Every structure is written in C-alpha cells, then in structure tokens.
Structure 1
C-alpha cells in the first residue's frame, strides 16, 4: 500500500512557548483515507478488509467515504448494517457520505427521495459530536450552528497544528439538477458549504495553522487550470462544482499554509499522486486506502513517500 508523506512547511517565525522559549513543532503523525469501496462493487467484505488493514498502520484517525453502492437499496436496515461495520474500527473513524448513499435513492413509486434519505443518513451516522470507532475523537459539526442544523456530516477536528474537515460534495456533479425548480437541496447545501469553508479558512489563518485538509466525495478540480470546465461544452452555471471551486481557490490564495483536497475519485489502478497548483494540492483515492504521514514544522512540503524513496 502506498503511504503518502505529508510534510507541512515550517512557519517563517518559530512560535514561543508559555515560558518564552521556542516551542517545539508538533510531533509527526499519520492518518488513513479509505476511498469509496462501493464504487465498483456491493461486496461489503472490501470495506471490512480496508478497515482492518488501515488500522494496522496505527493512524491517529481514519476517514472513510461512502456506505453503499449505487445499485444497493437505500434502506434503514442497510444503513444500520454498514454503521456497525464502521463503528467496529479500533481507531477513530470519520465518515464522509458519498453521492451513492442518498442522491440516487427512490421510493416505491419511483420518485426521488434523496433529501429524505440524506436526512436519514445524518440521523444514523451523525447523532452526536463523536466520531465512529471503538476509540473516538470529538468533532465540531456545522449542525452546532442553528442556521445549519441539518448539516451534521460537515465536521472538523485538529491534529498537530493541522485542521481537518469534511464537506458534503457528492461526485454526481454536486447533485446539481438541470431541470428548473429542482435544485433546492443543491442550493441550500451550497450556502451551508460556503459558510463552512469561510469558517475553516478563517480559523486556520487566525491560528496560524500549517495546513488545512478538506475531504470530499467529488473532485472539485480546484487544482487545475482556470479554463477547466467539469462538463465540457456546458456553461459554468451548469457545473455543480463551479461555485465551491472558485471559493476554495480564493481562500487558498490568501492562506499562508498548505491546502490539501482529498477526494474518492482516484483511478483504481493509478499510482497515487498529489497534484499541485500553488499551495493547493489534490489527492484522489480510489476504492482502496492510503496512509498519509504528517510532519509538522519541517522545511519540506507535501511529498509522496514512494516518489522520494531511492
């Protein structure tokens, strides 16, 4: 399994400790990302194996994306079954919903019940401010803000001077629907994500944090050239990622640290790599898992361990 060594750049001026001495940088640590194991199969044994193997690296925490395949039922029973699997992780596990978990769900009459199923996912997997897993970590959820009470899947936590956060941005063009009058879910979530990103970048900047890592299901393409359009031949208005991509780029340009975007859209057989655009990087993880090391206070930037090994 490929391990990515994430090396945050050292601040220009060393921080001072409470007694006036130079504070030591945070200790190195690592975390593991499980891509969407149900992108190509409904076999939950792949999820079980990924969790087991990911825990062998002894990460500080695990971030997993997706609980079911697009073809599987959107049932309460399946949701509960997958929660039990995820909750059995010995290490803390933070779940990020995938588009296949809710966006394509339909009721017995064949009508979309995506919003109802998304709300059910929130009830089952995000009932409080704790992660999943036998050992847990405390999270701060966007739902703690009364204005965005529904968005419990958006959460942040800190480790070693780095801020980590999840955003519900599914891989189906951010669940943007071209039909007129059918985008209320997309538009409401866009407002919530905009407020969330503003809060995250402001916090990272004010606390002089070395890095900010954002986990999403979809690849928003913030690391590619300005002229890129996710939907070739369509206007930016029809690109469901256009607004969030613009916002992330604008915030990243003003942020002195590194911003790493991690999504579950990596190619299954491709060698993992971090692609950079200034201080903005992207790591795509496929259906397997990747372990990422963080070494705060070092002079190096983000690098892949295999790429740098002799």
Structure 2
C-alpha cells in the first residue's frame, strides 16, 4: 500500500511539472523484428530508454513473429520489461497473439490473447520501476475481458492503448470465425468513445493512441473482401474532427521497412510509424504542432539499418 502511495505521489509530481512546464518526453519501443537467444534488440532498447529523462515508455509489442507463442517466451519478455527504470506500458501487437499458430498450422490466437491478458494486465499499473497508474477498459463491467486497453493522462494529454493487430485487425476470412474480431470491435468502439469524451470534458490539448496496425491506412487493391480497419478509421476520423485538440496515432505498421520517423499530419490528425528499435517523442504545449519526434537516437538508427 505504501509503495502504491509513493508511486502515485511521484507520478503526481511528474504530472504537475509537465503541466507547469508544458514540456515532457516519452518513448515507444517497437516489438523485436528478429528472434534472438539473448533478447538483444529489446534489451538494448530498454537500456537506451533508461538513460533518457522520460515520463513513460510504451512497448508496442513484446516479441518477434518468428518467436514461439509460449508461456516461457512470454515470461522471459515480461521479466525483461520489468527491469525498465521508466514506467512501461505494454501495447499488444499481432506478433504477440494474432499470428500465433500451433504445430499443425492452426490459429491459436484467441487462447494466446487471453493468456497475455492474464500475464501482463492483471492490475491497474504499468510495469517497470516507476509504476504508473492506468485506467483499464476492464474496469467497466461490460468490457471486463479487455484489460489490454488502458489510458492515462499527463500534462494535458490523454494517452491510450488500443488492441488493433496489424494483420488486418485479425479479421478472419473463414466464414463464422470472427467472434473475437466482432467482440473486440465493439469494445474498441466503446473505448474510443470514452477516450475522446474524457479528453473533451477535461479540455485536454491532445490525444495519443498506441496500436499495432495503422487504422488510417486505406487498403490497396488486393482483392481483399473485408477491410478490418474500416470501422476504426471512420470512428477515429469522426471523433478527431469534433475534438478541439490534436490526435496522434503511433503504430507499428509501415508501407516500407524503413519509415521516415516523421509524423504525417492531415489537419489535426497525425500518424507515426515506429519502425524498428525505439523512438523518442516530445510534447511542447507552446509549439503549434504539439508533438514532435526527437532527434533519432543512435540505437534506433543502428536497428534501422
């Protein structure tokens, strides 16, 4: 209890400073792109962000696609992420659950998602040394099965995670197999509505959404019968148009393997692909653009090539 009180007090001081100065920074770590026995990619990113003065860090996915979806791997990733000195919030990627298959090549996505929910989102705090209190969607009785969606507020900005895997939002093209997609769609729509409602009520200057897939990207001509992001794209665009501040979506999807790490703005709605490694962003209330990508860290450049 005392530890929780001290953590909340420390966060309150950090938030008060951010609110007073109007400036703070945070970082986003991309999920590992290549499996390794020593987790070098993820370990280096954590160590590099530990050396920065950050309000928090978001891990946009925890494992590479080619790593097995086992309790052993999940446990190793959690143990490593818990060593972070900053408060660290996990935002799930398709590689963590939606692309998981058993030895027969059949999807085990639903079971792995539920396992990750138990392992990573069992309380109302981030992981890492600085335990940041968050509000999970699971505190709403109707959506108690969606703890991975979390939100927190610092310095006049609402931050939130949204479970949108990059594999077409895990829409399955086999008939009658989309119960998970449909349930998560209902939850995500409600979550977005609440995020924007609270941000507007509190007169916040901005909203940042962390997700895996890019819901703003319209699908190309691929013969695909169903765009898994269609509802999210419409809702985000509609809510952003009504919101007075800026809205930034930070995602792990990219049309090219080496994204420019620039925020692409269309009016007050922007998106940023994280690429590989990690990226640092700054918030400055006196800057009309509000959000900016800091000079690309050396570690991010090294992973980038």
TM range (shorter): 0.7 to 0.9
Task: Sort the Cα spacing of 1:300 and 1:182 in 2 relative to 1 into closer, same or farther, 3 A.
Answer: closer
Q: Which residue of 1 aligns with 2:227?
A: 239
1:223-234 alignment, distance < 5 Å: 229-234=218-223
Q: Which residue of 2 aligns with 1:65?
A: 60
TM-score (norm 1): 0.84
1:1-310 alignment, distance < 5 Å: 25-37=20-32, 39-42=33-36, 44-221=39-216, 229-234=218-223, 238-266=226-254, 267-304=256-293
Could you tell me whether the CA contact under 8 Å between 1:96 and 1:153 is conserved in 2?
yes
User: What's the CA shift for 1:220?
Assistant: 1.3
Q: What CA distance in whole angstroms lies between the structure 2 residues aligned with 1:289 and 1:231?
A: 28
Task: Sort the Cα spacing of 1:26 and 1:251 in 2 relative to 1 into closer, same or farther, 3 A.
Answer: farther
Q: Tell which has more relative contact order, 1 or 2 (C-alpha 8 A, sep 6+).
A: 1
User: What's the CA shift for 1:58?
Assistant: 1.7
Unaligned runs of 5+ in 2: 1-18, 297-305
TM-score (norm 2): 0.85
Q: What CA distance in whole angstroms lies between the structure 1 residues aligned with 2:53 and 2:292?
A: 20
Task: Sort the Cα spacing of 1:244 and 1:42 in 2 relative to 1 into closer, same or farther, 3 A.
Answer: farther
Question: What's the Cα RMSD here?
Answer: 1.9
Aligned residue pairs, count: 276
Q: Radius of gyration: which is bigger?
A: 1
Deviations 1:138-175 (A, max 9, x none): 00000111111111110000000000000000010000
Secondary structure of 1:218's counterpart equals coil
Secondary structure of 1:238's counterpart equals coil
